Each structure stands twice: as structure tokens, then as C-alpha cells.
A and B are shown apart, each in its own frame.
Chain A
């Protein structure tokens, strides 16, 4: 029971990180129908920003944790979202009306570029960060001495994710930007005719996606304490799997898919084998897609001739 609870806690934490990245994939797919392969690398850049800002704050002497976190969050979001914006502006916008595969290849190219850019700038070696937040709450302790614990960092991650989800839902449901975004998702041409600035809306979509990825990068840095230039690839694939699992284009679906992938991974590594955890999550994806070809919460596409 304790062991189960511990895996549940780990899974939810991991799922929160995946979910935040998955939203970026899902939003971009919903609005321009392309897989943004560079998104995982934006997440990686977010993680690097978080690490560097933490070190700067350490050097300057700001050690009160809530303030440090807030500064890292703001600077990380600002700088990382610039990357999201630039990638869209340079690599995708000129290809808006091209064949479907052209932006995909351009995205793969951007992803390779960003990865090697960071590798060149910061070296290939993993970068460790000393633990910022330690301690936790013991939930349950068994007679054998195994304790299920929630660390404070896990609580921070889950709370931050919940808060972001609330803000984000309000953004999509209640603001003019969200309305424009949903309009572009349904019919870009019609939205343009009705006075929506489509290019601006798409740019902002990338900015929002990159901001969420930046937060995910911050969480990853805090949670694991070690990052390198390659983390974006693995996390990106997992998050994209999560987005597809939940039904690509659907935002609650992305979060749900992220949670599911996180839980599958945690439980599979907890009860079966760590090596094959990726096989498990892809296996579940294949199974779900066979029985529900549009994912768990996706709307079936209606094809017209």
C-alpha cells in the first residue's frame, strides 16, 4: 500500500511535467495542424534558463526561496517564450501555405539546431544543481519501515501546475485572445475575414506553449537536479505521446494524457522494470489509438470529399 501510494505520488508529479509540455504540442497542432518537433527543445532551453538564473541568484545572494522561485519563473518564461516566438517566426511562418510535410521537416531542423546550439554553448556534460528544496511529509509508514513520502518539491510542482491550468483555462475561455485562438482553430480563413489577426494569434499560441514548457523546464530542474542538452528529446516524445493519447487538439486531453503517461511510467518502473517503461507507455498509446483512433478526449474528424 505504501509502495503503491509512493508510485502514485511520483506518477502524478511526472504527469504534471509531461502535461504542461503536452499542452504546447496540442495547442500548436490544434491551430496550425503541425507537429512542433522543436517544442521538446524549447522545454530543454527553459530548464537551462532556470538553472542559470538559480546560479545567478545564488551568486547575488537572494536565498529566500519563494522570491527566488518567482524570479526564476518570470525570467525563464520571458526568455524561453522568445525562443518559441522566434522558431515560429523563422522556421514555420514562411511555410504556412506549403505542403503538409514542409513545416514538419523545418521543425525537425529547428530541433536539431536548438539541441546543438545548447550543446555548443554549454557543453555536452550533464549539469547538476544542488538540491534547492529538501524535506517532505510522510504520508504513511509501513511496519517494515518503508515510508510513502511527498517531498515539498512535489507539492510545489503539483500546486504550480494546478494554478497554471486555472490561469490557462481562463485565458482560453474568457479572454479575447482565447476567442481568437479558438476561431483560428476552427477556420483560419474565416477568422481572418472577421478581423482576427491570424499571424499574431499563432505567434501568441507559440509564446504561451513555450511559457508552459519553460515552467515544465523549471520543475524538471528542481525535481531531478540534473539536466543536459538532450532532455528535450525524450521529454518531447513522451509529451507528444501524451498529447496524442488524450486526443490531440484537446487541452484537457493533453493534461489527462500527461497524467496517464506519468502514472504508467511510475507504476511500470515500480512494479515491473525500469528499462521497459518507454515500451509500456508507447504500448498503451497504440492500444488506445486502435480502439479510439482520435485519442481519449479528441473529437472525431469529419472527412469531407
Chain B
């Protein structure tokens, strides 16, 4: 027992755990403990205190483990992790979910219950890390220094490798319909993240209404194709252009606001555009949205089973292939991949141009920029407009891929998700955005059938990643150049 609590203040631990238990009990007592049930006479309450008990037990074990981890002691968390894992694994492996042991598995679906292992796994991992570090601290520190030196090389190599893998994926044996579809969605968000990164990461403007420009792009293509019958490839640049002009028109009055005021105004604009889309029924179809949006073609060759009316060939017949819906999915994947890579290339290049330098300088110190003769409004407008343009591109692709859009797809939470991708990835880091988009968008896509728990975990993961790495997963926010490079003695 003494070994278990080595380095811990037992009384403090007890107080900590008891406090957490009491607070959890009070917090969950009404909201979770009493279920509101609709009856014929109105609402009535049905108690279900076993779930409260579950919450309290999880919090008690978790808070004890976290307390010990914070105090850099690993034995207790190790034990908690092992006990939790055993409690969960026994019913999971035997499939006996009705046993008394299974009360820690709250989910109605069996595969979801495996997710419950996340908590003990995390505790075990951290405890293992601490045990390792306490055994040989100097070696680990030296290794970390070495890593940071070669970090840049590694991230470049990793980027190249990822690009190659991304191009090869659909034709590789792993490329199934479902996987390519999920990756297409992830790529849309990567592109949006890279676009927003110009505004937030480079220019340092907090934009909470980015989804508005995404909506403008999507509706531009949908409406242009509906009213004029224009094809995707004509509308794509137009959609970007529309979104950019929207960005500039909206940005003009508000860009002299600072920081959080800008945030709330952009949020307001996002909502305004959505409200207009919902209520302008004659033009946008209102909440019903727009359906039947044509899919993009491959240099005029449509992806259809049968030849289009009035002759012409389809993609399959032109290349002498048998028709396969997978062709279209893979094609859409390549379109968004190229679009996203273009965004990335553009960002990397523009960082080296005067305007990119001006963005970074403005982000670091606005007053100094003004003193040096930069016009902050113009520089910010450029960032706003260019960021909006990429959202417009992504939006028109989104409309083409879905074939149906409605204001439902452009709610505030989307803006929040895109912003989270940028910040979780590490502001200004292109590679980090790929990782965080994969975590935030890709992983939940696999768990689609677990709808409710998915978003719960999504919020929790956002909080946890931020606490774990407040500067983002891949954090380097250094300006591209410095007057006095680090390490030259100044």
C-alpha cells in the first residue's frame, strides 16, 4: 500500500477524489438521474440512478489516476488502468454484457463498448510514460533535443510520403469505396483548414464565420447549374471568385475591428447568410435545399452507366472499361486532392511573397506594421478574400459531390470544426492540419452509426487535445524569416 502511494499525499488524494465524486453526483443527479418521459398528460420523470452510479465510479477512478499522474506518480494510475481494463475486458471478451462486471459498459451497441477501453488505455499510457521517464530521465531529454533538430526534415519527408500515398491510395488494394469516400470528406476539411489557415494562422484574424464562404461557393455552383446549366469546371473558378468578393465586401467594414470583436461579427455574418438562405425561398429553395446538382465530368465524359441523351460517350465506354460507380468516387477523390494540394502549394508560396510576409508581420505586431507604412486594412482584406476563395472552391466541390445542398450543411458548428482543425493542428502548420482533420473528421466517420456518442466524444477530444498540447499537434508558429535568427547570440 505504501509503495502504491509513494510520493503521494494520501489525505490530499482522498479529498480530491471525494470532492470529484460529490460534484459529479450533484451534477448528474437531475440531468442524468431523472429521465424526462413524455406521457399523455405531459412530462413525467423516470429515475435511472444506475447511470449516475456509473458516472461517479468512472470519475472517482479517473480523478484518482489524474491526480497521481499530475503528481508524477505512476504506480496508482497503473493499478487503476489495469483494474479498469480488466473490468471492461472480461465482459467484452466473454460477450456477457449482463454480468455485474459490465456496469462500466454504458453503450447499447457492442462495438461501441470497445471504445470504453479508451480511458484505461490512456491512463496506462501516461503511467507507462512516467515510469519510463522516471527510470531514465537524461536519455529521454537528449532524444527530444535531437528530434527537434531533425524535425523539419522529418516533416518534409512525411509530407512527401503522405502526398504519394494519397495519390496511390484509390488504385491500391486497400482502396475500397467506403474508405475513399471517407478520405474525400477528410480532404474537403483539410482544404478548408488550409484555407482558413491563411486567415487565422498567417494573418492572425479570428474568423468564426468561415462556413459562410463555403456556403457561398456551394450555392454559386448549385444555382449556376440550375439556372444556366453551366458545368462544374466553369463554375469552380466562378464560385471561388464569388466567395472572394463576398469576403472582401463583408470584410471591408469590419476588418478595422480587433480580435474578438472581429470574431463575433464574422460569426454574425455566417448566421446572416444562413438565415437568408433559409428564408429566400424562391431563389435558394429555402430549407428544402437544392437537389439534382450535376456531378463533375472527366473532360466532358460523364460517369454514368448509359450514354447521355443525344449521343456522346461516357467515361467507361471511352476508355473501354465496364461501368463501375467506383470510378466516379475515385475521380472525385482526385479532384479534391488536387484542389487541396493547390491550396497548400499556394499557401507555401505566398508566405514567401511580400503579401505573405506582411500577414505574418501583422499577426505579430499590428502597431509596428502601421509605423512601417503597411496598410493593415488592405493586407487583412487580401487574407480574408483569399481565404474565402478557397472556401468557395471547396464549397462548389462539396455541392458537386453531394448532389444536394441545404442550409443544414452550413451551420455555425461547421465553422467551429474548421477552426478547431486549424488550431488543434498548430496554427500555421500545414502538416498539423492534415493530422487534426484526420482525427476530428476521419475517425468519427468510421463510427457513424454511433451518432450521439460520436459528437460527445468529439467535444471531449477537442478539450483534451487542447489541454494536452495547447499550441497544437504540430506546433511551429515561427515567422518564415527573422531579423535575428535564433541562436546567433542575441
Which one of B22-30, B95-103, B310-318 contacts A?
B22-30
- B253 contacts A82, CB within 8 Å? no
Task: Scan residues 440-481 of chain B and give those whose CB is less than 8 A from a CB of chain A.
Answer: 452-453, 455-456, 458-463, 466-467, 470-471
Is A35's beta carbon under 8 Å from chain B? yes
- With A105-B419, A279-B276 known to touch, is A286 a contact of B466 (CB < 8 Å)? no
- B36 contacts A95, CB within 8 Å? no
Please report the C-alpha to C-alpha distance between residue A120 and residue B458 in the assembled complex, in whole angstroms: 14
- B263 contacts A110, CB within 8 Å? no
Chain B proximity of A41: nearest CB distance (Å): 10
1/0 contact string of B144-188 vs chain A (CB within 8 Å): 000000000000000000000000000000000000000000000
Chain A proximity of B464: nearest CB distance (Å): 8
- B31 contacts A286, CB within 8 Å? no
Which one of B127-135, B266-274, B342-350, B401-409 contacts A?
B266-274
Is A263's beta carbon under 8 Å from chain B? no
Task: Scan residues 257-301 of chain A and give those whose CB is less than 8 A from a CB of chain B.
Answer: 275-276, 278-279, 282-283, 285-286, 289-290, 293-294, 301
Chain A proximity of B94: nearest CB distance (Å): 27
Chain A residue at minimum C-beta to C-beta distance from B37: A123
Please report the C-alpha to C-alpha distance between residue A286 and residue B13 in the assembled complex, in whole angstroms: 51
Task: Scan residues 237-253 of chain B and give those whose CB is less than 8 A from a CB of chain A.
Answer: 253
Please report the C-alpha to C-alpha distance between residue A241 and residue B270 in the assembled complex, in whole angstroms: 13
- With A113-B459, A248-B260, A293-B261 known to touch, is A45 a contact of B31 (CB < 8 Å)? yes
Is A70's beta carbon under 8 Å from chain B? no
1/0 contact string of B360-394 vs chain A (CB within 8 Å): 00000101100000000000000000000000000
- CB within 8 A of B275: which of A111, A116, A240, A278? A278
- B45 contacts A237, CB within 8 Å? no
- With A51-B36, A116-B452, A121-B31 known to touch, is A293 a contact of B462 (CB < 8 Å)? no
Chain B residue at minimum C-beta to C-beta distance from A54: B43
Is B57's beta carbon under 8 Å from chain A? no
- B466 contacts A109, CB within 8 Å? yes
Chain B residue at minimum C-beta to C-beta distance from A298: B261
B-chain residues with CB within 8 Å of residue A113 when the two chains form the complex: 456, 459-460, 463
A-side binding surface: helix, strand, loop or mixed? Answer: helix
1/0 contact string of B5-36 vs chain A (CB within 8 Å): 00000000000000000010011011110111
Chain B residue at minimum C-beta to C-beta distance from A125: B38
- A127 contacts B43, CB within 8 Å? yes
- With A113-B456, A119-B452 known to touch, is A290 a contact of B45 (CB < 8 Å)? no
Which one of B71-79, B290-298, B420-428 contacts A?
B420-428
- A110 contacts B261, CB within 8 Å? no
- B36 contacts A116, CB within 8 Å? no
- A79 contacts B275, CB within 8 Å? no
- B43 contacts A128, CB within 8 Å? yes
Is A101's beta carbon under 8 Å from chain B? yes
- A120 contacts B254, CB within 8 Å? no
Task: Scan residues 271-322 of chain B and give those whose CB is less than 8 A from a CB of chain A.
Answer: 271-272, 275-276, 278-279
Please report the C-alpha to C-alpha distance between residue A39 and residue B471 in the assembled complex, in whole angstroms: 24
- B30 contacts A108, CB within 8 Å? no
Is A207's beta carbon under 8 Å from chain B? no
A-chain residues with CB within 8 Å of residue B455 when the two chains form the complex: 112, 115-116
Please report the C-alpha to C-alpha distance between residue A117 and residue B419 in the assembled complex, in whole angstroms: 22
- A102 contacts B460, CB within 8 Å? no
B-chain residues with CB within 8 Å of residue A151 when the two chains form the complex: none
- With A106-B467, A286-B265 known to touch, is A279 a contact of B275 (CB < 8 Å)? yes
Please report the C-alpha to C-alpha distance between residue A95 and residue B367 in the assembled complex, in whole angstroms: 27
Is B413's beta carbon under 8 Å from chain A? yes
Is B358's beta carbon under 8 Å from chain A? no
- With A108-B416, A241-B264, A286-B254 known to touch, is A59 a contact of B463 (CB < 8 Å)? no
- B275 contacts A276, CB within 8 Å? yes
1/0 contact string of A117-133 vs chain B (CB within 8 Å): 11111110101111000
Is B42's beta carbon under 8 Å from chain A? yes
Chain A proximity of B442: nearest CB distance (Å): 17
- A129 contacts B43, CB within 8 Å? yes
B-side binding surface: helix, strand, loop or mixed? Answer: helix
- CB within 8 A of B32: which of A83, A121, A289? A121
Interface residues on B, range: 35 or more
Chain B residue at minimum C-beta to C-beta distance from A120: B452
- B467 contacts A91, CB within 8 Å? yes
Is B202's beta carbon under 8 Å from chain A? no
- B365 contacts A305, CB within 8 Å? yes
Chain A residue at minimum C-beta to C-beta distance from B269: A282
1/0 contact string of A55-88 vs chain B (CB within 8 Å): 1100100000000000000000011001101100
Please report the C-alpha to C-alpha distance between residue A156 and residue B424 in the assembled complex, in whole angstroms: 45
- With A109-B463, A241-B264 known to touch, is A55 a contact of B36 (CB < 8 Å)? yes
A-chain residues with CB within 8 Å of residue B253 when the two chains form the complex: 286, 290
- A48 contacts B462, CB within 8 Å? no
- B268 contacts A86, CB within 8 Å? no
- B276 contacts A79, CB within 8 Å? no
Chain A proximity of B197: nearest CB distance (Å): 12
- B254 contacts A108, CB within 8 Å? no
Chain B proximity of A55: nearest CB distance (Å): 5
Is A52's beta carbon under 8 Å from chain B? yes
- With A244-B264, A279-B275, A282-B272 known to touch, is A116 a contact of B471 (CB < 8 Å)? no
Is A98's beta carbon under 8 Å from chain B? yes
B-chain residues with CB within 8 Å of residue A283 when the two chains form the complex: 272
- B272 contacts A112, CB within 8 Å? no
B-chain residues with CB within 8 Å of residue A56 when the two chains form the complex: 34, 45
B-chain residues with CB within 8 Å of residue A123 when the two chains form the complex: 36
- With A130-B42, A290-B253 known to touch, is A52 a contact of B27 (CB < 8 Å)? no
Chain B proximity of A305: nearest CB distance (Å): 5
- CB within 8 A of B257: which of A45, A85, A127, A289? A289
- CB within 8 A of B260: which of A35, A91, A105, A282? A35
Q: A98-B471, A110-B459, A120-B452 are in contact. List 11 more A-B contacts (CB 8 A).
A: A59-B45, A85-B23, A102-B466, A106-B462, A109-B459, A112-B458, A117-B31, A121-B32, A127-B36, A278-B272, A305-B368
> Top 6 closest A-B pairs, CB basis?
A109-B462, A113-B459, A112-B459, A98-B470, A282-B268, A109-B463
A-B contact pairs, 29 of them (CB 8 A): A51-B43, A52-B30, A52-B34, A53-B30, A55-B34, A59-B44, A59-B45, A79-B30, A82-B23, A90-B463, A91-B466, A98-B466, A99-B427, A102-B423, A106-B463, A109-B459, A109-B461, A109-B463, A113-B460, A120-B453, A130-B42, A237-B271, A237-B412, A275-B278, A278-B271, A282-B268, A289-B254, A289-B265, A293-B258
